[in-house]
Amino acid sequence: MTDASSASHSRRALIGWGGAGLALGAAAAGGTAAALTGTGDDARPAGDGGGAVPFHGAHQAGIATAVQDRLHFAAFDVTTDDRAELIDLLKEWTKAAARMTQGHAVGDGAVSDLVEAPPDDTGEALGLKPSRLTLTFGVGPTLFKNKKGKDRFGIAERRPEALIDLPVFPGDDLDAARSDGDLCVQACADDPQVAVHAIRNLARIGMGKVAVRWSQLGFGKTSSTTPDAQTPRNMMGFKDGTRNISGTDAAALAKHVWVGEKAGPAWLAGGSYLVARRIRMHIETWDRTSLKEQEDVFGRDKGEGAPYGKQHERDTPNLKAMLPDAHVRLAHPDSNGGIRILRRGYSFTDGTDGLGRLDAGLFFLAYQHDVREGFVPLQRRLARTDALNEYIQHVGSALFAIPPGVRDADDWWGRALFT
């Protein structure tokens, strides 16, 4: 990453990548932001992920985009009550996001002539490649009406019906300090420093208007949107999310992920809904569980990831061969009237807790066109009967509406909502 004003060698190199990404992005159906998907990048080593993902498009990048290796997700509280100030921030954020995703520093860069002032950019991404950074922006229910019932920005009537207050599910142990938020930004990149830099700089730009409510780092993708690539393993050592929606499957995306033109409200057409759940795993007890029970819990074998009674991971599962409370059986679209969601979660490990237990699990991220027909019925079923519940606990939760893509340089995050 470099200053725009002083293109260096590394930037010249990355412009090549960015250009390639653009070309592929344009070639992708419907102009989705899924640049580079055609290359099946999952098979490539992480160090090769230098390309820039186009920021502008019909949909926001970071959803259909081939899942990057690292995550920094942040939820913000809006601290100003001034609508104009919030709008100014969203414009400023959009500008900074566009620059960072293309591998540029924000503002006047990390080093300027004005030595008396702190630099605009914090600098830790200087010299790094864009690393397929995507920044995906969303708005939470409390932006429309805060917890005191106040419509601070005059948008209460624009709250989508589907942007519900998520119901409480059996077994939830939600920490308010790790839940909800007026706004969110999902930063995904192949280089963790690039993702952290992006959130850090957006948070800094936002000070006085927004404050970070909570944030989560993720280090290993647990799902892939590129079906011909390896399905990653979660912290329990299992392949999960084999039948995820592919980032290039325009029909499935249109049906299950993007909010349709007529679904309403108009400002959200082409957008999506994102459920974020921090799912803590009881790692130590899981590790001392017999292989037989582990495989029973998932309904897959651990080595290959094949469904019970099958040879290969992608063989069509015979759900009846699994125990009735097996995770795959309960979560499978065939058990849920064809419900599909686009999973984009990451493993996390925030060190250890006070008892020396690994504070680890799955930071579940799922995109869908309507949570009432996606995550909610699915989770209702899982929370009640999933055998996995003995080893996991949902400790954080949030729901966001994800506006459509930023069309061009004059467009900004949330424009349709505020105009």
Nearer to other proteins, 152 or 209 (CB): 209
Angle at 122 between CA 119 and CA 123, to 5 degrees: 100
Of 208-227, which residues contact other proteins (CB under 8 A)?
A: 208-209, 211
| 116 vs 157 by CB, closer to other proteins | 116
Instruction: Tell me whether residue 113 is exposed, middle or buried, using C-beta atoms within 10 angstroms of its C-beta: 0 to 12, 13 to 18, 19 or more.
Output: exposed
Q: Where are the alpha helices (DSSP H) in 44-159?
A: 83-101, 141-144
The full DSSP string for 349-362 is: EEEE-TTS-EEEEE
Segment 94 to 153, residues that bind other proteins, using CB under 8 A: 114, 116-118
Shortest Cβ 152–other proteins spacing (Å): 16
Considering the complex, what minimum distance in angstroms separates the CB of residue 322 from other proteins? 44
- Asked if 207 touches other proteins (CB under 8 A), the answer is yes
By CB under 8 A, residue 79 contacts other proteins: yes
Q: Are 274 and 186 in contact (CB under 8 A)?
A: yes
Reading the block at residue 359, the tokens are 């504070």
Residue 79 Cβ vs other proteins, minimum distance, rounded to whole Å:
6
| Stretch 35-54 residues interacting with other proteins (CB under 8 A) | none
Q: Between 177 and 251, name the residue whose CB sits nearer to other proteins.
A: 177
Nearer to other proteins, 39 or 79 (CB): 79
Q: Within 106-235, where are the H helices?
A: 141-144, 192-206
Interface with other proteins, residue 354, by CB under 8 A: no
Phi/psi at 8 (nearest 5 deg)?
A: -110, -175
d(C-alpha 25, C-alpha 61), whole Å: 11
Binding window for other proteins (CB under 8 A); candidates: 66-74, 200-208, 363-371, 374-382: 200-208
Q: Does 177 bind other proteins (CB under 8 A)?
A: yes
DSSP string spanning 48-76? G--PPPPSBSSS-SSSSSPP-SEEEEEEE
Rule CB under 8 A: is residue 84 a binding residue for other proteins? no
Tell me if 78 sits within 8 A of 145, measured CB to CB: no
How far is it, in rounded angstroms, from Cα 387 to Cα 241? 17
Q: Does 251 bind other proteins (CB under 8 A)?
A: no
The footprint of other proteins on residues 5-24 (CB under 8 A) is none
Q: What is the size of the binding site for other proteins (CB under 8 A)?
A: 12
Number of H helices, E strands in the chain: 10, 10
Q: Cβ 294 to other proteins, closest distance in Å?
A: 37
CB of 211 to other proteins, least distance (A): 4
Question: Length of the chain in residues, anyone?
Answer: 419
Q: Which of 91, 95, 145, 204 binds other proteins (CB under 8 A)?
A: 204
Which CB sits closer to other proteins, 113 or 165? 113
In the complex, the residues that contact other proteins under the rule CB under 8 A are 77, 79, 114, 116-118, 177, 204, 207-209, 211
